Structures are given as C-alpha cells and as structure tokens.
Structure 1
Amino acid sequence: MATAITIAIFSFLLFTFIYLLSKISFRAKQNTLHHKKPPGPPTLPIIGNLHMLGKLPHRALETLSKKYGPIMSLQLGQVPAIIISSSKAAELFLKTHDLVFASRPKTQGSELMSYGSKGVAFSEKNELSVLVKTLEKAALVGEVVNVSEAVENLVQDIIYKMILGRSRYEQFDLKKLVQQGLTLIGAFNLADYVPWLGVFDLQGITRGFKKISKTLDEILEMIIAEHEETCNVDKTRAEDFVDILLSIMHQTIDYESEQNQEVIDRTNIKAILLDMIVAAIDTSATSIEWTLSELLRHPRVMKILQNEIQDEVGNKRMVEEKDLKKLNYLDIVVDEILRLHPVAPLLVPRESRESVTIDGYFIEKKTRVMVNAWAIGRDPNIWSENAEEFYPERFIDKKMNYQGHEFESIPFGSGRRRCPGIQMGLITIKLVVAQLVHCFNWELPYNISPSNLNMDEKFGLTAPRAQHLHAIPHYRLVDAKHE
C-alpha cells in the first residue's frame, strides 16, 4: 500500500515537472514569435482552469468573460481552449473563419457513444392527441400533472414514429438512457483534457459511457434486426427511416479506384440513428418544458398567446400544423425561449484545423473552441438591460431564421456545423406548445406561485430544468375533435 502511494506521489510530481517545463517552453516560443493569446485567468499545474468551471459551466464562463473579454483563453488540462461570449466574436469564428473551425474535437464521449464519431451531427403527430385526451381526464379531477414527464414521453413517441416507424419499446427505457448519456457527454471529463488521467477514471465517466453505449448498441441492433426481418416478410409495408438506411447499406460508390467503397455500413446506420434519437428526444422536450415554465410565470404572455390561437383556430378544434405559419406571437415566444434557454448552452465544441489570427489574437492549431450561446443570448449590450427577463415582444421587429446569418441568438449554432434538424425541432416545439396552451388553462400547484417557481437548470450537453415542472390543467375547448 505504501509503495502504491509513493508511486502515485512520484508520478504526480513528475507530470507536474513536465507540465511546468512545457508551459515555460511554450511561453518562450510565443514570446519569440510575438504571438498574442487572448486574455484569460491564471492556470494551475496539470488541470489548468478546469477547477473554475463549477456545476454550471455556462454561468461560470459568463462571469469570467465579464472580466477577461468575449474572446477568452482557458487551459483545460492539456487542451488550449477559447471561449466565445459575444455575438460579434461568434460571427468571426463561425462565419468569417468558419472553415478553420469546421472540425469537431474527438472526445471520449463521442468515441464511446457515437460509434467513433461516425454520426451525422453529433409526420403526423397523433401522439399529441393522445396526450391531450390524457390531460383532459386529469383536468376533470383537478389532478396535478408532471408536465415535464408528459412532454418527454410525448416527444419520445413522436420520434419513435418518425424515425423507427413504430411505438416505443416496452422492454427498455430509451429516453432514460439518452438522458444519462447526454449528462455524461456534457460533463467536463478529465480524460479529455488530461489524457494520462483517463486510465484512473476518477469521475467514473468511462465506466458510465461503456455501460450505456453497450446497452444502446444492443437496442439498436435489435431495432435493425427487427426491420430486416419485417422487410423480408412484408414487402408492401410503408418504409420508415431505418428501412431507407438499410436499403442503401450495400450500395457502393466507385471512385475509379481498385476497390468500391460502401455508401454506408451497419455501424454508420447505428451512429446516424443514435444521433437523430439523441438530438430529437431531449432537445425538443427541454425547450417545450422551458416554454411552459415561462408562460406559467408570465400569465400576461400566456393570455396573449391563447387569444392569438383562439382567434385563428377557434375553440372547437385542435391546432394543426398548417395553422403555425399564422401564429406570429407563438413565433416570438419561441424565439425568446431559445434566447433565454438555449438547449445546448455551450453548443457543441469545435476545434481549429490550423493556426489563425483573429481580432489580433493568435489561435493555435488544435485549440478547442466553445461558444457560450447562453451568455450571448443574455448580453445586455445587445438585448438591453432587461436581457435576463422573459419578454417576447423584443422580437416583434426582429425576425429570426436560425440559418446562421444572425449571431445575437444562436441556439442551433451556425456555419457548416449548425444543427441540421432546425425546422423539425421548431415545428415540434411550436405545435406541442400551441396545443397545450390552446386546449388547457394551466395553474401551478397550490403551494407554488409564479414568482417562486423553481427555474434552476442542470448542466449536461443540454440544460433542462433541475426539477420537473408540475401543473394543473383545466380543459378550455368546446367539443373539440381529436384527430
């Protein structure tokens, strides 16, 4: 035991010595080349600035950026990082120099959870009618509903139908696995920043990744095998997304080389499916929960939104997708939610493919770049002194399209690596919110007022509510037809 402790202490001192030598050497090299790094806080040996991130890194980084500026340099273990916290800086990195920062860093999470980073990103919604019927029954008896859980289950069902062509599987809880995986991916894993610590797995993240990825792989294999078997038996059934991927699995591309290359293989299919399921289930549900939370805290906004839908749809039918284009106030409510509560507060990290100088600062090749979308959306220089408030009217004269041309609010990222599912996500969020506020009046449980509703978030790759939202529905339509 004593020997093991001695070895551990010696190893720590050795790596500390090597680290300090490398820092001194690097600084000397920088001074020689007259490279100016972005300002940033002082670092500690080995861990750099990792200790400064806290439990809610997007908030901690916003506080640091107020001192060191919108282009801030951090040392995350052995990985140099740049934190972007303003719309002007985001435009420089994500538009002007988009090609330089088009790479994603390979992390332990992406390798273990996304089949070696082979994914693409990192219908009719009858399920919504089923939820409305369930809530209508709860409304008859004044039951308190776990809104967060109901919304998560709804989005899961919609995604199952859209991607897998069927209802959910009862034998496993895919939603729970996805949420656990996102929490692990969003965590600041020491192994990504101080690689030699990976063997010790001090945070238990590697064990968690391996367990979840093994289970997810078994589930995806079962889904693919089920589709292969069904295709062989029933040739006339309608194809779903999995069927389409399987149909091109054995096709090849001839690049005039000696060997043909397959368009897609089984591992690619699993990676793509996992990307789509992970991206769709948690992100849409999180935005819907925050929208309903803010509407419950702001009855004025809730009433205006209900009146708009009432004027357009009436009170004898439910909202349909075709109605959304006429609901302008709904648009700005969702814009305001995405500004205040971006689903991925730090977006998905990028990595510089080459060294570059931006705004007078030298950015070294292989530098990790993190864009703090949460801080950008709350910048008082852009959004005025009420930037922390939920006030949809700020978007009345500002039309957002989220295609990467505006940088004051970038919940979906920008440039070549922005979210590919923007339209699907927006339609899902808007339709579910419209249905729930049109069909029901909502009130908080008797011991909670709008002013003291807990609005804390928890951090992962996404930032959902820390506590589930509970509310009481009161049905408000007149003999509406459930499609």
Structure 2
Amino acid sequence: MEMELVSFLGVMLATALLVVTALRRKRGSTRNHKLPPGPRPWPVIGNLNLIGSLPHRSIHALSARYGPFMSLRFGSVPVVVGSSVDAARFFLKTNDASFIDRPKMASGKHTAYDYSDIVWSPYGAYWRQARKLWKAHLFSDRHLRSQEHVRSEELRALLRDLRALSSAGVVALKEHLLMLSLNVISRMALGGKYVGEGTAGSPISPAEFRWMVDELFLLNGVFCVGDFIPWLSWLDLQGYVGRMKRLGKMFDRFLEHVVDEHSQRRRREGDKFVAADMVDLLLELADDPKLEVPIKRDGVKGFALDLIAGATDSSAVTIEWAMSELLRKPEVLAKATEELDSVIGHGRLVTEQDIPNLPYLEAIVKETMRLHPVTPLLAPRLSREDASTGSYDIPAGTLVFVNVWAIGRDPAVWGGDAEEFRPERFVGSGVDVKGQDLELLPFGSGRRMCPGYVLGLKMVQVTLANLLHAFAWRLPDGVAPEKLSMQEKFGLAVPRLVPLEAVAVPRLLAHLYAGP
C-alpha cells in the first residue's frame, strides 16, 4: 500500500494548491470541536501516507504516540481510531446509536449489491429489519440445532480426507478448512453443495471460488483512495474498483444460479413448498407483504453472499492461526491433547455438546482470537451525530475504526506477556467473545456485531477440537517451532501470508475416520 500511495503522491501534490483553500474552509467548520490528538495531515492525502501494507499495525504504532483516541484524516474524510477498552466502550456501547451507521465505500457498492447486504447497508429501516430477520430466522437457536448433523457430517468428511493424505507427508491445512466451511454453509444456507464434488451445473470451480472469497475479503478491507478523495475516484489509481466490479459480476453469476434454482423449486412445488435452507427462508421473507421495507432480489443475493463468504473464510483463518500457535508451543498442544483424551477418550469424535467440558480448548480459541482477530480493524462505522468523550469531540460524519488487534495486545489489560500465546490466561477468567467483554472483541459488539458469531464460534471450536483429537500434529522436517513464520496478509480478514503446512498422524481407531 505504501508503494501505491507514493506512486500517485506526485499527482495529488501537483493539484494541492488548487484545493488548499477549500480544505481550509472545511477544517474551519470543525474548528470549534476539540478533536483527539493525531499527526498533522498533508494537503489532499491527509494521513494516508502513514498507512502501510498492514493498516492495523500502522495505526497501532501511531496510537502508541498519540493515544487511544486518535484523530487522522484520510484525504478529505475525518477519522477517529479507538485503541483501548475505554474507547471501544465509548463507540460500541455507550454511544452505539451515534456510531451505528456505515460509510458508503466502493466495496459496499460494487461487491455488496449497492449496500444491500447486512454488513454495508446504512443504518435505517432496511438494516433494522434485516438484523431482526437474521436473528429470528437465519441464526436462531432452533435453526442452528436442526442443522447440527450437517456440520457433523462435513467435519467427518474432513477427517477422512486428512487421514487419506497423512501418508503423503505435509498437509496444506487452510485449503481443507475452507472447503469444510464452504460445504457446511452451502448445505445450511443453499440446501446443497454448489462447489466441488457432487455439484452439477455449478458456474464456478472450487479453485475459482476460493480465489473469489480471498479477493472479496481483500477488497473489502483495502483503503481505496477514491473513498477518501472523491475527485480522484474516476482514475481508480490503485485498480481496486475495477477488481471490485469484476468480482461483483463473478459472484452475481454464481448467486443468480443459486436463486434461480430455489425459485424454480418454489414454483414447481407450489402450495406444498417447505423452506429447507436459508435461501428458501430469504425468498419467503422477501414475499412477505408485511415487511416494512421490501427485500428485492439483490437483497436476497446480498444476504446470501454474507452467509457464504463470511462463514467460509473467517472460521478457516481462525483455525489456521490456532494451529500455527499450537505448533509453535508444543507444551500447549500436549496439554490440549491430554484434556481431549481425558474427556473424550479414544473411542469417538468430539461433538458440539462436548465443548463446555473442554475449558482448555475453549481457552485456546479465545487466546487465538485475542492475538489474531479475523477483522483487526472492525468494519468502519460512521458517526450520525456529534458526540463527546468529555475530553474530545467526534463530529458527525467522522469515520470510526476500533482497533481490536491493538486492544488484544494492550499490556494495561493483558500484562507484560500480552504478545505471548498463553491460553491459561482465559481458564476460569469468565471473559467471553460475545460482545460484552470489551477486551476481547473478535466479533465486534453492539448492534453492528457479527450476527453469525454463534455459528462461527461453534465451527471453530468443534473443528479445532477434532483436528487435535484425531491427529498428532508436527511441523515438517527442518522447520523449528520458533522459526515458523507468522507474517500476515491484510484484508477485511487477516490470514497468514504463507499458508500453514504441517504433518498429521492419525491417533484414533480407523473406523472413526470413515466419514459420513
């Protein structure tokens, strides 16, 4: 990102004199506000030159200098970043209603059906209605329980495939985790597998779909210059908007295929039709004349995209980071295996009902989410009205980021070993990931919290438990634990830069790997 910014810095500075007067007038409108401290912005680009290829780290470094409430300017857009528990409480709890809106960014327009999904839709009747429908129907406890057999069957298929590969040497784990998540959410949300084995007439291949999901998370996390300097948007200097448009068309081709198949079944079965999956539910809800705001076809596709992409990538990324940390800490891995052997034994696999009886496994998941939150900078919020911390003012129209990556490494919260992977800190602590404990916010908090967190947490916990129970894991020959790279790759989610490879040795009875 730094090289991209430098490449067009000259173009923007050449035009700076033409707009400096206008910028001064704009700043004059906030002169009566006492903003949080921050670095002085440049003309035109503001502080974009200070944001590197890993923005959460760049912003953390700046916050260490300017404080947990920090002002920045991205182009012409005022920005405030919160990097402490108190800041998170201010934005996500105390003043949640003031910061509940979303900015209209290019990614939401071109990859989310013009802000028709639940992530990027602006605050209003449409979003409030969508949130209620998601909680009451798509992610209700009853619906999740009814689909537990799907998650169990696909998990057993993963273990079967990994056992078959174990004799060949190293396993590229994330690829298999992605397919597990995709198969689970495809069956739960779409009623069947639309990518990979047993999919007739699917418009995309598994490799193409994996690329599309990676591209979606990258493009929904980048800092697109046109979002912050609107008069430069037509140039698409970074090429991001062109990529967004291309990706949007690819997903639309896939989702049109899915929605068409579901609509045809509804017409074919007529009065005998019974909703069997989440897309069926969405289509039924879209036909409800009592809805406050109609859900159009693009809304159905936008919600389906949230379900598929969000559930596919986030779980796989978290499990891969957990396995990476465990392979770097053999003593923690041994302790987790010992707990599983004691509670589960060697005669069966781990079920979702076992998780409350595995406190160390739960602690490993929390510790992973602390150090490697899937979205280190929570999706940006937009202030709907002026607000004040008591010390600082945040004017209406300010873009707000909460740096949960920085909060997860705050020594004031976690002590002097905040950078260390130590699950013991969560054993018996009572700190949870459900949005109430603001020191640990992998799914966010408040009304904009991830609505699918219950499913995501189930998938991470039970998958990781079975990987550790069914296999003995080690790094490939010649790779020392302390030398395992932990470099990141940025996007809306932050996966490993280099996919994890490991050796898996089966440790249970052969018939348990038979698959569904």
Which of the five TM-score ranges fits, normalised by the shorter chain?
A: over 0.9
Which residue among 53, 56, 67 is the counterpart of 1:55?
53
Aligned to 2:481: 450
Q: How many residues in Structure 1 have an aligned counterpart in Structure 2? A: 467
Quote the offset at 1:168 in angstroms: 3.1
Whether the 8 Å CA contact 1:316–1:479 is kept in 2: the answer is no
Tell me if 1:153 matches 2:179: yes
Aligned to 1:331: 362
Tell me if 1:79 matches 2:77: yes
SS at 2:80 equivalent? strand
Quick one: which amino acid aligns to residue 19 of structure 2? Y
State the Cα deviation string for residues 72-112 of structure 1 (Å, max 9, x = none): 00000111000111111111111111110010111010011
TM-score (normalizing by structure 1):
0.92
The two structures, once aligned, show a CA RMSD in angstroms of 2.0
Quick one: which amino acid aligns to residue 211 of structure 1? R
Whether the 8 Å CA contact 2:12–2:45 is kept in 1: the answer is no
Aligned to 2:194: 168
Quick one: which amino acid aligns to residue 477 of structure 1? L
In 1, distance between residues paired with 2:157 and 2:448?
A: 36
Give runs of aligned pairs for residues 53-452 of structure 1, distance below 5 A.
53-122=51-120, 123=147, 124=149, 125=151, 126-139=153-166, 141-170=167-196, 171-172=203-204, 173-233=208-268, 235=272, 239-253=276-290, 262=294, 264-452=295-483
1:109 to 1:9, Cα distance in 2 relative to 1, 3 A? closer
SS at 2:326 equivalent? helix
- Structure 1 segments, 4+ long, off by >4 Å, are 8-15, 26-31, 234-238
Structure 1, 351-360 or 455-464: larger mean CA deviation? 351-360
In 2, distance between residues paired with 1:427 and 1:254?
A: 31
Aligned to 1:3: none
Larger radius of gyration: 1
In 2, distance between residues paired with 1:310 and 1:137?
A: 23
SS at 2:98 equivalent? coil
Quote the offset at 1:159 in angstroms: 1.2
Whether the 8 Å CA contact 2:13–2:43 is kept in 1: the answer is no
Give runs of aligned pairs for residues 37-48 of structure 1, distance below 5 A.
37-48=35-46
Whether the 8 Å CA contact 2:23–2:76 is kept in 1: the answer is no
Quote the offset at 1:237 in angstroms: 7.2
In 1, distance between residues paired with 2:306 and 2:480?
A: 38
Quick one: which amino acid aligns to residue 272 of structure 1? F
Structure 1, 151-160 or 330-339: larger mean CA deviation? 151-160
In 2, distance between residues paired with 1:432 and 1:12?
A: 49
In 1, distance between residues paired with 2:454 and 2:314?
A: 13
In 2, distance between residues paired with 1:130 and 1:11?
A: 54
Quick one: which amino acid aligns to residue 17 of structure 2? F
Structure 1, 393-402 or 281-290: larger mean CA deviation? 393-402
State the Cα deviation string for residues 185-226 of structure 1 (Å, max 9, x = none): 111100100011110011111110110101111111110111
In 1, distance between residues paired with 2:40 and 2:482?
A: 39
In 2, distance between residues paired with 1:308 and 1:13?
A: 60
Structure 1, 343-352 or 127-136: larger mean CA deviation? 127-136
Where structure 2 has 5 or more consecutive residues not aligned to the other structure, the ranges are 1-7, 121-146, 197-202
SS at 1:337 equivalent? helix
In 2, distance between residues paired with 1:200 and 1:423?
A: 41
Quote the offset at 1:60 in angstroms: 0.7
State the Cα deviation string for residues 282-320 of structure 1 (Å, max 9, x = none): 111100100111111111111111111111111011111
Whether the 8 Å CA contact 1:318–1:480 is kept in 2: the answer is no
In 2, distance between residues paired with 1:155 and 1:410?
A: 22
